[in-house]
Amino acid sequence: MLRQLSRSTRYLNSSAQLSSRLHNWQSDKLTDIGTGVNYDSDMDIFREQCRKFWASIPQERVEKWDNDHQPDAEIWKEAGAAGLLCIDSPAEYGGIGAQFEYSMVACEEQAYAGPKFYGPGFGLHSGIVAPYITSFGTEEQKHKYIPSMTTGETISCIGMTEPSGGSDLQAMKTNAVRDGNDWILNGSKTFISNGTLANLGLIAARTNKEGKAAHGISLFLVDTREHKGFNKGKNLRQVFFLIKSRLRIFFRKIGQHTYDTAELFFDNVRLPASALLGEEEGLNKGFYMMMNELPRERVGCALEACARLEGAFERTREYTLERKAFGSPLSHKQVIKHSMAEIKTEIVTVRLLADECVRLYAKGELDNETASMLKLYATEKYVSCVSKLLQHWGGWGYMWEYDIAKEYAGARVFSIYAGTSEIMKELISRNIYPRK
C-alpha cells in the first residue's frame, strides 16, 4: 500500500496540514485516527490499514501464540505482504522506502492492538536490525538481506546480551577469531527477542581482546541457512541452565508470551569475511555502530510504551464506564475520576516528549542524552501507570484472561531492555556532571 503512494505525498508534507492537526489527547480517544502532530492524511490511511491487519488475526490463533510463547512464522510473510516490514528501509535495497514516521505509525498500531500482540517482534526486525544493515552494511549485504526482510522470508534478531551480563560490554565473552579469510565464532547470547524463529542474527562479538571492549567489538550477520554451528536453545518459557550441582533450573517469562525469546549458541561457527557487517571497514567498530543506532532503538521502545499505555488507558476507561459498584458505574466515583485524570496527565507528558523526539529523529537532530531521557521517562511511566490502571479492575485485573493483566506483566521489562533505567540515568548524568 505504501509503495502506491506518490513520492510527492510521501515526502512533502503540508506544514499547514500538520499544524492544524489535533494532539491525540485533544480527541475523544487517545487512539483516534486523524490525530498526531507528526502525521498527515496519508499516514492516517496507512494507520487504518495497520489497524485492519491486527484486527483480522483470529483470537484462536493468538491464543495459540500465547500458549506456545511465540507467534507462527506465517505471520511474518503476511506482514510483509501488507507492507508492515522494513517500512523506512531504502527502496533501492528492497525496503518500502517510506518516511520514518510511517514506521512509528506501525509501532503505535501494534501497541494499540493490545498486549496479546507484544509479539511478533516486527519493530526489532524493521527498526533495529534493518537500520544496522542499511547504515553500515556493504552494498552486497544490503541487497542480500533487506529484500527478504521486507517480505518476511528472513526473520531477524540481534544478539548483544549474554548470560554473564547485558549492559557490561567489558564482560562480553562471545568472540570471533580469524582463520584464514574466515572467522570462527564461539559463545552464547540470552534473552534474544525473535530468537526462536529468526534465521538471521546480528551478533556482537569480541574480535580484539586487548584493551577496552569498546575498541574490540564487531558485528556479524549469522545466517542459520548458511552457517553451521548456529544453534538455538529452547524458548525462554522453558529454557534451563545447568549449575555446578547439575540441578536443572527452569526459566519462564512472566509476560509478553506472544514474543518469542530464546538463547543462541555458537559452536565454532565458520563465517566468511562477507558476514562481518561492513566487512573490513566494520572490524572492531561494533560499539560505535551501536552508539549510532541507540537513539532510534530508544525512541521506538519509548513510543511503544507510550502507545501501549494509551491503549490500556482507553480499555480501562471503557471498563469503568460499564462496571458498577454501589449502584452506579465506577466512572461516577470521584476517586476513579481523579485517578484517571492524573494518569491521563502523565500520559500526555510522555506523549509530548515522545512526539518531539520522533520529530527530532526524523530531522537527524536527536542526541543520545535526549533519547535516554525519553526512554527513561516513558518506560517508567508505563510501568507505574499500568499498575494504577489495573487497580480499577479490581480482582478481574489479576486474571490472565484480561488484557490489563497481560499489560501489567508485559510492561515491567520495558524499563530493563533497550538499556535499563539505571543506565539511562547514568548517561543523562554525564552531561550534568561532565568528566574533567
Alpha-carbon distances of 143 from 89, 94, 292, 329, rounded to whole Å: 12, 7, 22, 58
> CA-to-CA distance for 93 and 145, rounded, in angstroms?
9
CA distance 52 to 62: 15
Instruction: List Cβ neighbours of 412 (8 Å cut-off, separation of 6 or more).
Output: 254, 255, 383
Q: Nearest 5°: phi and psi at 105?
A: -60, -45
Q: What is the biggest distance separating any 2 CA atoms in the chain, rounded to whole angstroms?
A: 79
108, 109, 297, 407: the catalytic one is 297
Count of alpha carbons within 13 angstroms of residue 134, beta-carbon side: 24
Dist. CA 88–CA 91, nearest whole Å: 8
Cβ pair 138, 279 in contact under 8 A: yes
3-state secondary structure of 5: coil
**Helices 286-322, 403-411: inter-axial angle, 10-degree rounding:** 150
Helix (H) or strand (E) holding 349, with range, is: helix 334-362
Residue 297 designated active-site: yes
In the three-class reduction of DSSP (H, G, I as helix; E, B as strand; rest coil), residue 270 is classed as strand
Q: What is the rounded distance in angstroms from the CA atom of residue 51 to the CA atom of residue 53?
A: 5
Q: Whole-angstrom Cα distance, residue 283 to residue 301?
A: 28
Residue 74 in contact with residue 152, Cβ under 8 Å? no
In three-state secondary structure terms, 259 is coil
> How far is the C-alpha of 238 from the C-alpha of 67, rounded, in Å?
12
Helix (H), strand (E) counts: the chain: 14, 11
Assign 395 to helix, strand or coil: helix
Beta carbons of 71 and 119 less than 8 angstroms apart:
yes
In angstroms, the Cα distances linking 35 to 25, 53, 62 are 9, 20, 29
Tell me how far apart the alpha carbons of residues 103 and 109 are, in angstroms, rounded to a whole number: 10
Question: Which residues are marked as active site?
Answer: 297
